[in-house]
Amino acid sequence: MKATTVTVDRAASTTYTDRRGQIQNYFDRTAVAAWATLTSDAPVGRIRTTVRAGRDAMRAKLLSWLPEDLHGRRILDAGCGTGALAVEAARRGAQVVAIDLSPTLVNLARDRLPTDLRGTVDFRSGDMLDVGLGRFDHVVAMDSVIHYGTEDAVNALSKLAERTSSSILFTYAPRTPLLAAMISVGRLLPRGDRAPWLEPMAKEKILKLMAVDICLQHWQAERTERVSSGFYKSQALELIKR
């Protein structure tokens, strides 16, 4: 089945737009097969096994920060990839909109949706900031703002906050010496072989930018937790509307 295409109707910064193009190219072309395998239960190598374990742990953590009963709640899976989080949220009763830049991954996510959940997840291909997606109780952005700079990531959170009533859960690459070293090794690889840059972020900078953002002024950072499993290092942060 073909993915529905939607567009963003607000001005996006040049860096956000450029980066978004690279990310879409990477997830829709370069890495689509690897990503399909990583997010399945097919055997993978030693390093990817640790990444898969870390990602499973992160998904479970984010889902544990949502109410147990999600009936009557509208959730945005922002940058849904192959849709694992959307499936779990729908299983708990949520009405989910799952959107990703990659039409190929969205089609795969749609194919992977268990038949008993048909109709509970609205899969879209496009930008998570599309205002046409409507309003949500909760937004979850697992590892989908990790390739943007901190300013662009906070801008994205701000736009999402305008249409969210309860919480936004997102992850970022924590700024640590080890991650910086891993990234600079990655930068030495030939261009075609590597993912778009990970942009490590510092919580202090995220909070500073949030404090001066008009749409995020009534939002507060609450729980935070790091998952570190081999090459997978990601920090979850919960934003709650006061």
Ligand X SMILES: C[S@@+](CC[C@H](N)C(=O)[O-])C[C@H]1O[C@@H](n2cnc3c(N)ncnc32)[C@H](O)[C@@H]1O
Name the residue nearer to ligand X (CB basis): 145 or 206: 145
Name the residue nearer to ligand X (CB basis): 27 or 219: 27
Both tokens of residue 237?
């942060």
Stated as kind and residue range, the H or E segment containing 227 is: strand 219-229
Name the residue nearer to ligand X (CB basis): 74 or 218: 74
Name the residue nearer to ligand X (CB basis): 28 or 137: 28
Q: How far is the CB of 40 from ligand X (least distance, A)?
A: 11
Q: How far is the CB of 234 from ligand X (least distance, A)?
A: 9
- Cβ(58)–Cβ(236) below 8 Å: yes
Report the sign of the C-alpha dihedral through residues 28, 191, 18, 154, in that order.
positive
Task: Please state, in angstroms and as integers, the Cα–Cα distance from residue 219 to each residue in 135, 162, 216, following that order.
Answer: 16, 11, 5
Q: How far is the CB of 39 from ligand X (least distance, A)?
A: 6
- Cβ(175)–Cβ(234) below 8 Å: no
Please give the single-letter amino acid code of residue 104: T
Instruction: Using CB under 6 A, list all residues that contact ligand X.
Output: 20, 23, 27, 39, 79-81, 84, 99-102, 105, 127-128, 142-144
Name the residue nearer to ligand X (CB basis): 41 or 204: 41
Q: Are strands 219-229 and 95-100 parallel, antiparallel or unpaired?
A: unpaired
Q: How far is the CB of 19 from ligand X (least distance, A)?
A: 8
Q: How far is the CB of 28 from ligand X (least distance, A)?
A: 7
The DSSP string of 144-177 is: SSTTS-HHHHHHHHHHHHTTEEEEEEEEE-B--H
| Alpha-carbon span 58 to 94, nearest angstrom | 19
